[in-house]
Chains A and B, each alone.
Chain A
Amino acid sequence: MSQSTDKTIAEGVMKALGRVIEPDFKKDLVTLNMIEELSVKEGHVVFTVILTTPACPLKEEIKKACMSALASVPGIASVDIRMTARTTGGGAREGKLAIEGVKNVIAVSSGKGGVGKSTTAVNLSIALSRLGAKVGILDSDVYGPNIPMMLGVTTLPKQVNNRWFPPKIHDIPIMSMAFMAPPGAPLIWRGPMLHGIITQFVRDVEWGELDYLVVDMPPGTGDAQLSLCQLVPVTGAVIVTTPQEVALSDSRRGLAMFQKVNVPILGIVENMSTFHCPHCHHETPIFSSGGGEHAAAELKVPFLGRIPIDLAIREAGDSGRPIGLTHPESPLSEAYLKIAGSIASRISVLNSDYQPITLGNLAQAT
């Protein structure tokens, strides 16, 4: 086969890929600059598809769509599609508030305590990491910083030359308010102290290169939460709620707070959504069900999914070995993976629209 035929094939390939639509962005792969390193030798086609997140839930779908689009291109002997990702960042990496090395910050929040916010934060972090993303966790829950316990972290961060090196579990760096006080001691952080410690977490911690930093927020909508929104460059917020009305009304407050400070809502997760009895297999909606979905529809934000009440999740959290690690194939882990994928694609879409605000210089005193 001649070089000129290869060239014709390459052109045909690009033309065909120009008809493959990325479902999230609703544009074709060529327009989105997602195709790189296309080579054709003797009819053998190799190219790379660059996704905007390694946690892309549409990876296989896009690959299949490419394959079928190429079926119409004459002269192809074989096709080798490589899928890789270059996570996009938005506001999280701009300006004074940027956290070095961190592309996106996800705030996991709830209007009230006890809905399983920290459990959700931990399991979503693990799910994002299992999907191939580099993830870190910032446990900023000033009232009950339990993430180290849930992940079985026993070592403290190391401080070298004013830089903090966080402990890692399964390659996930973890910083927590819990490291700042002796175990069991009450955490009474007043506004300015909180401000100081969060500033340190943002500025002085060596997170390394992260696609996503998951921030476990304190529950509620008070001073601490507002300070965090002002200090941490949040890409988007996930609201965790239980389905009963009492929890939902607080979730609406939480959502309103994020809207006030202009943090995009990635969606609502309904936790403790139902209980499957392991003995009689009857399903009991202990905290009602479907409430999260209704609230999402009413507030016009995405509904990300529901997680049932399950003994395994609680046991895993208490033992410091989260379910995503102990039972990666279980339906519960699958549910977390699905939610993590939706969050990652929402962030990619948000980042594609992101425009920084240019802040001009001020004239110096004369």
Chain B
Amino acid sequence: MNTPLPQSIESPDPRSVRILWRDGHISLYPSRTLRLFCPCASCVNEWTGERTVRESDIPEEIRPTSWNLVGQYALSIGFSDGHDTGIYSFELLRALCSCPHCEQDRRQKHHQS
């Protein structure tokens, strides 16, 4: 796997999750964004890839209430709305990083393709 591994995963305040990656990169995620991108089978249609969770159903104030490392490749997060089936692979988390640098990388890749 080419994705770097996290060095630390923290929630500096209930509204966000911060990952310090082993390659020095830092990602900051709004808690609500992570909930919206939950990859579990009840949030994403496994055949079509269509997201079945509605943005309007997710409370603004949502926050993580429990989390655990899954094997050596992912983080499972339980949220304050009771949803706890999402397993976020480090690959997915890295891809969800919305820092200006990663956004620009994505835009460039998008233009090339």
Contact = CB atoms under 8 A, between A and B. Distances in A.
Interface stretch (B33-41, B45-53, B65-73, B101-109): B65-73
Contact of A234 (B1, B11, B71): B71
Nearest to B5: A357
Interface string A345-366: 0000000000101111011011
Contacts, number: 68
Q: Which of A91, A95, A362 has the most CB of B within 10 A?
A: A362
B65 to A, nearest CB: 6
A279 interface: no
B69 A259 contact: no
B65 A360 contact: no
Contact of A261 (B22, B68, B73, B75): B73
Contacts of A366: 14
- Tell me whether chain A's interface is mostly helix, strand or loop, or mixed: loop
Contact of A262 (B7, B10, B65, B90): B90
A288 interface: no
B63 interface: yes
Contacts of A97: 69, 71
A365 B80 contact: yes
A366 B5 CA distance: 32
A261 B7 contact: no
Nearest to A263: B72
Interface in A313-366: 355, 357-360, 362-363, 365-366
A234 B70 CA distance: 11
Interface residues of B, number: 27
B35 to A, nearest CB: 14
B8 interface: yes
Contacts of B8: 357-360
- Give the interface SS of chain B, mostly helix, strand, loop or mixed: strand
A229 B6 CA distance: 19
B81 interface: no
A362 B11 contact: yes
Contacts of B13: 363
B86 interface: no
Contact of B11 (A95, A229, A360): A360
Contact of B22 (A95, A231, A355, A362): A355
Contacts of B73: 260-263
A112 B83 CA distance: 36
Contacts of A233: 71-72
A229 B71 contact: yes
26 contacts: A91-B72, A97-B71, A230-B70, A230-B71, A234-B72, A262-B5, A262-B72, A262-B73, A262-B90, A263-B72, A355-B5, A358-B7, A358-B10, A359-B8, A359-B9, A359-B67, A359-B75, A360-B8, A360-B9, A362-B63, A362-B65, A363-B11, A363-B63, A365-B65, A365-B80, A366-B14
10 nearest interchain CB pairs? A360-B10, A262-B73, A358-B8, A261-B73, A262-B72, A230-B71, A229-B71, A230-B70, A363-B14, A261-B71
Interface of A: 91, 95-97, 229-231, 233-234, 259-263, 355, 357-360, 362-363, 365-366
